Structures are given as structure tokens and as C-alpha cells.
Amino acid sequence: MLGCGGGGVGLRYRLTLATGLVECLCFAGVVFGWASLVFVLKTDGYFTDLCVNLTTGPNSTVETDCSGQDEQFSLVFTVTSFMNNFLTLPNGFIFDRFGTMATRLLGICLYTTGTLMVAFSSSALSMLLFPALSFIAVGGILFLITNIQVGNLFGSHRSTIITLYNGAFDSSSAVFLIIKVMYEGGVSLRSSFLILSVCSVIHLLRTFFLMPNTHIPYPLPEGFTYGVSPGKSNSYNVEEIEKTREMGMTSEGEGPAETDDMPLQPDDGQQSEDSGKVASFRSCVQSWFFLWHLVWLSVMQLRHYLFIGTLNPMLNRLADNDSALVSQYTNAFAFTQLCGVLCAPWNGLIMDRHKGKPLAPGETDKEADLRSSSLSLFLTSLQCLLFSICASSPLLPLQYLTFILQVLNRSFLYGGNAAFISIAFPGVHFGKLYGLVMSLSAVVSLLQYPCFALVKGALGGDPFYVNIALTLLTLLAFIHPINIFYHCRKLTNQREDMAGGAAITLAEAKIAVGSLYGFSAKSVTGGDNQAVEKSGRRRSYGERSSTENGESRVLQLAAEEAENEDVSYDNDGTDTGHM
């Protein structure tokens, strides 16, 4: 139940949830409100030295060409988004190795440094934007990584909370809209970023009082506590809890080898040979699930990054450089980003829709979670396709619909990414796998800059053909959910086949035992007194069944049925009659 735990523990869980939501909503993903910040930076004269005056027409009309300025702003966002994702890999290792507190302290230092650099930058120091925005982005993603585990405190709502936090991360891009509105109201850019810097005190307090030193395990041990408490300390070794639980599940046949160990190269057989071990990080990376999930994330993320990075020049082109109209659409885009926190939980509800319902015979919780995730991944791919089609249209009013589809898809994309990794792979590898998939997708996202250069150069500012190519590329995202769907159906068919093979009648069991030891069908099924000897034969069967690996499970079950035969015997082996 939400807010599980009693007394002060339950209150602490709720405070952690609420403050984590505020942190993600107000700080974590502010750099993705880039379009609003660019409007302010252009007004303050950043990179104006790249604008040139051109003389055109028979009347020698002088026009200012600021395409160089737009390209430089696009490069700032490209570098920022790349660092945001690529450095998630080492950050994930830091999180898994050193725990929550060390990771958050690193994030706070980076975030505060970035905001101070923007605050003290100017048009003469425009190049400071490159490291400043990168620091803010990396610090923000560290806030998100450490907050995702809060979903473990609320087991039945785990995916919903993970997606809620990712939605809040998306919605935080509206912070730059607030800065833009305040700037138009007379508040300087420096003052706004100094306020963001001072808020780091809040992050520090939350780190020490409302977050664990290491990690929050899943499922949650009874009475789990964390944070600074007078006279109390957290004695849990979280890593040992997670590893012990994973090993226990694997030994019972419910471990991750069933879903996340589908190696691309069959030479890694460590997991299958030793089912008592948690799936290795290497086997997870070499699985088909990881490969197609990486493709799924990369193609859609590239589409979103190119859209956000080129939104301002696109609006200028469609609005014929009408600054008032561009400001109106920029505000509309930033306002829709606020809805990310409202859209993301829908994805979590889709993933958690099976919770509380009885499992199918032989089905594990993990398989049920995986099956439920396939619908979420498919809907996310479909949303991206529709968003890309609308973004390719040169109609300015249609961009309102594009903004809505973009924020809906983006909230599903990142929430679904984190939730799927937590479902499909062992929890002890979450930080590393999350970081690796984000880092590799960041390499793909670098394609946005050559795409922008292609549009500005060879295509004469018209992005139509690039948009069509990206729309076709998004079709690759549908492979991932289809692959998961067929995998889950395969597991279901295997369970049904096993259940059908085990459904053997008592008479068939008797015949199977009799044929193995030379009994006739009549003597076994009819209770012939001369066919059955003393219990030594039954004992002999038990010995053989325990030593001969080639005998089937059916014959073992048959032996058990034979022990409960409706014929009883006295001590010398003679028939004493029917029960």
C-alpha cells in the first residue's frame, strides 16, 4: 500500500516521495527548456558576433543573417544533451559502487557550479554556456538516478512512481519558461540563476535526512529505515540483501535467467551453468532485450533532441521571423512541458495494471511485469511516430498538436526506459545498465548536429527531408515491444506444454511404472495378487529414479501414485484386500 510502514517510518517514506517529486520537477531536467532560454540569451546578445549583415536585392537592402548564431546555440544544446546522457554511464557505476549519498553530493556540486557559471556569464563570455549547461545537465540526471529508487518504498506502485519522477524530470524544463517570463518582467538572468544556486541547500538537507547512504532495496525488507536519525542507524547491507534475494529466486527457477539472459553470443554460459548466481552484467549487456531497448531509446531520443534543439529556428522560419509570434509559440511549448508530470503516471499505471491480480499457473512476478511492459513500449513507439509526422508538417498551427504529442511521448519514453530496466534486469546492475543505455544513446544523439548542419546548408533551411528520414527511422522502435510480446507468448506456451505433459491419469501412471519393471497392464491396473511383490520393488524403483537422469518426471510422479495405490499389503507382501 502506498505509504507502507507505520508511524515515523511511513511518514519518512511519504516525505521522501514528495520532496523527490519537487526536486525532479523544479531542478533535474531544466536544460530541456532550452528553447525558452535561447530566447533570453539572444536578447542578451550571446553569440551576436556570429551574425553578419548581408546586402540583397536591387535596392541594396541590408539584412542580418544570424544563422551562425543559431548553429552555435544548436551546438551548445547538442553538447549538453550528449553530456547529460553519456556521463550517465560513469555516474551509474558511481551510484552502484558508492551509493546514494556520494552520488548526490557529486550531483549537487556539479549543478551548483553550472548555475553559478550561467549567472556570471555575459555576451562577452558566451563560451561559458558550454561547460555551464553541461554541468547543470549532469547534476540534474544524478538527481533523477538517485530518486528513481524511491519507487522501491512503495512496491505495488513502483512503476507508477518511477514514471512519475521521469515525468517530473520532463516538466522541469518549464523552469526556463518561468525564467523567460521573469526576464520579460524585469528580473535579470543573473538573479534567476543565483536563486537556483542557493536552492542547493535544499538538496543537501534532503541528502542527509531523507535519502539512504547506499541504496533502497526491492522488495523492501520489513522495517527498513534510512537517513540521519538520532540514536538510530541503518544496519542493512543493501547489496547483500539484493544479491541474496536474487540468488534465492534463481535457485527456485524464478530468477532473471528466464528473461534477461538471452545472450547474443552463446559462449557466455555462466548463468545457465550456475543457476545460483545473479545474472552477470556482461550477460545483461549481451542480451537481445538490451540491444533492442537501446535501439528503441536511441531513435526516439534523437527525434526529440533534434526537435528541441532546432525549435527556435523552425518557429522563426514558419512565423516569417515575427518575434511576437515566435515568443507565443515558445511559451506554448514550454507550458505543455508542465504536463509531463501528469502524463507520465499513465505509463506507470499501464505497467502496474496487473498488480494485485492472481498470476497464471507457473507464471513469475517478473514475467508478469515483463508482459505488462510490452504494451507500454508499443504505445510509446506509436506516439513517437505520430509526433514525428506532425513535426514534419510545415503548418504553424499544427505545431500545437506537435507540442502535445511531444510532451506525452517524452514522458512515456524516459519513464518507460527506467521502468523497463528495473523490470527486465537484476536490481544490482540498475545503475550501470541505466547509465550504459543512456551513454550509448547519447552517441547516437550526436547525429542531431550534422542533421542541423545539413538543413542549414544543402537543404537551404528546409528540414522536410530530414524529418521524413527520422520518421522512417522511428519505425525501428516497434521491434522492441514486438520482441517482448513474442518472448512472453513463448514462455506462456512452454508453461502450457509442461502443464499438459504433467496431466497424466492415474491409470497411465500405473502402466508407465509397470512397463518399466516388467508388470503387465492387467496386473498393474487390476491389482493382480501375483503381479506385485513386497515393497522391495517399489524401493528398487525409487533408487533407480534417483540415479537415472534419463527418466522423466512423469515416472517419478507415477511412483508416488503407486505408493498411494488403492491396494494395501501386509508385512509378507500378500494382498489384504481393497480399501
Q: Place 574 in a pLDDT band, splitting at 50, 70 and 90.
A: very low
Q: What is the pLDDT of residue 1?
A: 41
Q: What is the pLDDT of residue 310?
A: 83
Q: What is the pLDDT of residue 131?
A: 95
Q: Are 144 and 28 contacting, i.e. CB atoms less than 8 angstroms apart?
A: yes
| pLDDT at position 568 over 60 | no
Q: Are 573 and 537 contacting, i.e. CB atoms less than 8 angstroms apart?
A: no
DSSP secondary structure code for residue 55 in this structure: E
Q: Which residue has the higher pLDDT, 279 or 298?
A: 298
Burial class (CB in 10 A: 0-12, 13-18, 19+), 446: middle
Question: Mean pLDDT, to the nearest integer, of 21-27?
Answer: 93
Q: Place 137 in a pLDDT band, splitting at 50, 70 and 90.
A: very high
Phi-psi region of 322 (alpha: psi -120 to 50; beta: other; left: phi over 0): beta
Residue whose C-alpha is closest to residue 275's, from 291, 253, 260: 253
Record the cell numbers describing residue 14, joined without a space: 511519504
Q: What is the pLDDT of residue 237?
A: 53
Q: What is the pLDDT of residue 405?
A: 94
pLDDT tens-place string over residues 263-286: 333 333 333 333 446 788 889 999
In DSSP terms, which residues pair with 569 in a beta bridge? 575
pLDDT over 70 percentage in the chain: 75
pLDDT tens-place string over residues 321-354: 888 898 899 889 888 888 878 888 888 788 877 7
Say how far apart CA 28 and CA 167 lie, in whole Å. Answer: 11
Question: Mean pLDDT, to the nearest integer, of 7-31?
Answer: 88
pLDDT tens-place string over residues 387-426: 999 999 989 999 999 999 998 998 899 888 888 998 888 8
Q: Place 205 in a pLDDT band, splitting at 50, 70 and 90.
A: very high
Q: What is the pLDDT of residue 244?
A: 56
Say how far apart CA 402 and CA 299 lie, in whole Å. Answer: 18
